[in-house]
Chains A and B, each alone.
Chain A
């Protein structure tokens, strides 16, 4: 089966500009996650969707970050305006989560989008 797709793979912008990332999860996966991975650190969850509803966005800087998952499939993550500290790799992951508690609910990660803010 096809994996999680993300685009673009790399993006360089200047501070105060806006940027958007796109994610296409594995077909049929109900849950989608966006993580931020700053250089030298582990990934940190920004937002989690179950179908097209938000489950957890407690660590999303809502003054500048937004995300949507229309129709419960693809998702976009936007930053507006970008700051220097937003330079990171943005990872998208998905899991089937059809049966909560199932040991098969592994999160599958995409290759990420590397954002550099100058």
Chain B
């Protein structure tokens, strides 16, 4: 069965610093991978997704993630953090399009001025 592990339930960075949120997955077949962001009292919004093709995926708000099969990882990065990036971030996996998403436990990102 597939699973997702997000390393670090809380990450704090300074404004302008690099953002790195870690995600490792477990899957017996090539997965589809997603990053979602959740602002307080709101639903989840898709940041980016990997299905096939290029392993470096660019998303909204300057975020990107790289699928590394050998490391079973899909870490999320952003070169320069902004105060508006403060939110909860969820990594998710599914084995097929339209299938259920298996979420990690989430990482809360704080951005200090």
Contacts and interface: CB of A to CB of B under 8 A. Distances in A.
A99 to B, nearest CB: 9
Contacts of A51: none
DSSP majority for the B interface?
A: loop
Contacts, number: 59
Contacts of A93: 43-44
Contacts of A56: 100
A61 interface: no
Interface residues of B, number: 23
B100 A45 contact: yes
A87 B104 CA distance: 19
Interface in B25-77: 36, 41-46, 49, 51-52
Contact of B49 (A41, A97, A106): A106
B40 to A, nearest CB: 11
A40 B105 contact: yes
B96 to A, nearest CB: 7
A42 B104 contact: yes
A100 B90 CA distance: 24
A24 B24 CA distance: 33
